Structure 1
Amino acid sequence: MLIKLGTENHKQPFKDPISITRVQPGEIFQEKGRDSAFGPLSIIDHAVMRKGIKIKMHEHVNDEILSYVSHGVSHHKDSAGFEAPIAPGKLMLMNAGSSFWHEEKVEDGYVEMLQIFIRPRETDLKPGIQFHDKPVDHSDWYVMVGPENSEAPLHVRQSVYILDAHPKAGETLEIPVYQGLTPFLYVMSGDITSGDLKIGRQESITDLENPLPSVTAIKNTTIVLFLVDMNAEMSMAGTISGLK
């Protein structure tokens, strides 16, 4: 059965000048007392950061964190010695493992981005960081992230794939099916229809029994698709991903 997670379920742990809408994917089940993660997919922080914001150097442990920027430039610095601008088309994946420190700042305009937190398969893995340049404007699906043994350009230590697409108004997309993995579809911007449902900005859908039906963009839209092993072994020791 197709089920939807609406915006009324989201928390806002921070507001201006840093605005974060915290999407806890497990809330889609609407079951009291259930873990708020969707398998190892723990949290999607949809953030807007204003000019002049600096998030000072801070530590993560046992979080796999994808930074996905849709607007603006976030300037990144970390304990591995990397300094890099993160912008649309420039992906960053921090595999925090036993310990990883980073800071982010916005020098001009504003930044809109997702920080996606995944629980790793085990605790205290080796820390590291990955970058990847990808197309910015593509209507069809682009595989951004996958498990270590996959052909995805960025790897998480978990049975999770992350794809994005940018369908234009009126375009219809089929949803990929990965054997043994459950889909969770997030609308970052725009509006789509799927079956009889309309799904807007910061809303999501899943189906635990059947493949997701095709989606049609009502207007130009950015969508992010997660394909998740719901029975994967995972560490609950993450700074953010371990939250329930």
Structure 2
Amino acid sequence: MLRKLTADKHTQPYRGPITITRIQPGDLLEDLSGDFAFGPLSMIDHATMKKGITIKMHEHVNDEILSYVWKGTMYHKDSTGLEVPVTPGNLMLMNAGSSFWHEEKVKHDHVEMLQIFVRPKDTDLEPLIQFHEKPESNRDWYVMVGPEGSEAPLHVRQNVYILDAHPKQGDQLEIPVYQRFQPFLYVLDGEIQVEGQSFKKLEALTDLEKPIPSITTVTDSTIVLFLVDMNAPMSMEGTISGRKGKKEQTK
């Protein structure tokens, strides 16, 4: 049976020049423990940032963070002096491990992006940073992120895959099935239908009993698929990914 996470369930811990809509994927699970994660997939921050914004140098510990820019250019700078533009065609994955410092800046156009937080398999791993150039308008699934040892171009220290697709109106897509991995499908933009149900921007879905059926796009869309090993061991020591419980209010 399909489970739907509607946009009205999300909080906005920040609103203004930086607006963050926080997707707690575990809200689909009805988990009485109070944890808002979906296995080791901790949270998804759907962020918009206006021109001129700088998020000053700050530290992450034990977070695996994929920066997925959908519109605009976000400039990454870290404590090593590395400065790299992150764009719709250039992904960035920070494996914070024991400690990683960075800042983010919007120099030109408005930015809309996802910051995806995954709980690593263990604490205080080696800090790393990875980049990958990808297609910007792939209509079928593109594997962006996978576990260490997988054929994915970017690796998290966890049993999680992250894929994206940009189907056009009327396209039909099959949802990949990975044995022992639970799907979580997020609509970043547009509208899709699954078994007659509509899912629009900021909404998500899963099926806990069987694979998600094929989807049909109502409008041109951007969708992100997470395939998660729900039983994977994980660290709860992450600066962001280790949080659980109480929802944050708008600031």
TM-score band, normalised by shorter chain = over 0.9
Q: Superposition pairs for residues 124-139 of structure 1, below 5 Å?
A: 124-139=124-139
Q: Superposition pairs for residues 2-21 of structure 1, below 5 Å?
A: 2-21=2-21
Give the % identical residues: 66
- What TM-score do the two structures reach when normalised by structure 1? 0.98
Other structure's SS at 2:28 match:
helix
Other structure's SS at 1:36 match:
coil
Q: Which runs of 5+ in 2 are unaligned?
A: 245-251
Tell whether 2:161 aligns with 1:151.
no
Q: Superposition pairs for residues 17-166 of structure 1, below 5 Å?
A: 17-166=17-166
- Larger deviation: 144-153 or 193-202? 193-202
Task: Find the aligned partners of 1:155 and 1:48 in 2 and give their Cα distance.
Answer: 25
Q: Which amino acid aligns with 1:22?
A: R
Other structure's SS at 1:225 match:
strand
Task: Find the aligned partners of 1:109 and 1:94 in 2 and give their Cα distance.
Answer: 23
Tell whether 2:208 aligns with 1:241.
no
Q: Which amino acid aligns with 1:88?
A: P
> Per-residue deviation at 1:239?
0.4
Q: Which amino acid aligns with 2:44?
A: I
- What TM-score do the two structures reach when normalised by structure 2? 0.96
Show structure 1 runs of 4+ deviating over 4 A.
Answer: none
Task: Find the aligned partners of 1:93 and 1:57 in 2 and give their Cα distance.
Answer: 17
**When the two structures are aligned, how many residues end up with a matched partner?**
244
Q: Which amino acid aligns with 1:83?
A: E
> Per-residue deviation at 1:108?
1.1
State the Cα deviation string for residues 6-29 of structure 1 (Å, max 9, x = none).
Answer: 011101000010000000100112
What do you get for the CA RMSD once the two structures are aligned? 0.8
Task: Find the aligned partners of 1:31 and 1:229 in 2 and give their Cα distance.
Answer: 16
State the Cα deviation string for residues 66-109 of structure 1 (Å, max 9, x = none).
Answer: 00001000111012432101111100000000000000011112
Task: Find the aligned partners of 2:34 and 2:54 in 1 and give their Cα distance.
Answer: 34
Task: Find the aligned partners of 1:33 and 1:230 in 2 and give their Cα distance.
Answer: 15
8 A contact 2:29–2:38 mirrored in 1: no
Other structure's SS at 1:12 match:
strand
8 A contact 1:41–1:118 mirrored in 2: yes
Other structure's SS at 1:66 match:
strand
> Per-residue deviation at 1:32?
4.2
8 A contact 1:97–1:124 mirrored in 2: yes
State the Cα deviation string for residues 182-203 of structure 1 (Å, max 9, x = none).
Answer: 0000000000001131100010
Task: Find the aligned partners of 1:133 and 1:34 in 2 and give their Cα distance.
Answer: 37
Task: Find the aligned partners of 1:83 and 1:135 in 2 and give their Cα distance.
Answer: 22
Task: Find the aligned partners of 2:59 and 2:101 in 1 and give their Cα distance.
Answer: 4
State the Cα deviation string for residues 34-78 of structure 1 (Å, max 9, x = none).
Answer: 310000000100000001100000000000000000100011101
8 A contact 1:80–1:128 mirrored in 2: no
Other structure's SS at 1:26 match:
helix
Q: Which amino acid aligns with 1:68?
A: Y
Task: Find the aligned partners of 2:162 and 2:203 in 1 and give their Cα distance.
Answer: 17
- Larger deviation: 74-83 or 91-100? 74-83
Other structure's SS at 2:135 match:
coil
Other-structure match for 2:223: 223
State the Cα deviation string for residues 153-211 of structure 1 (Å, max 9, x = none).
Answer: 00000000000000000001000000110000000000000113110001000011100
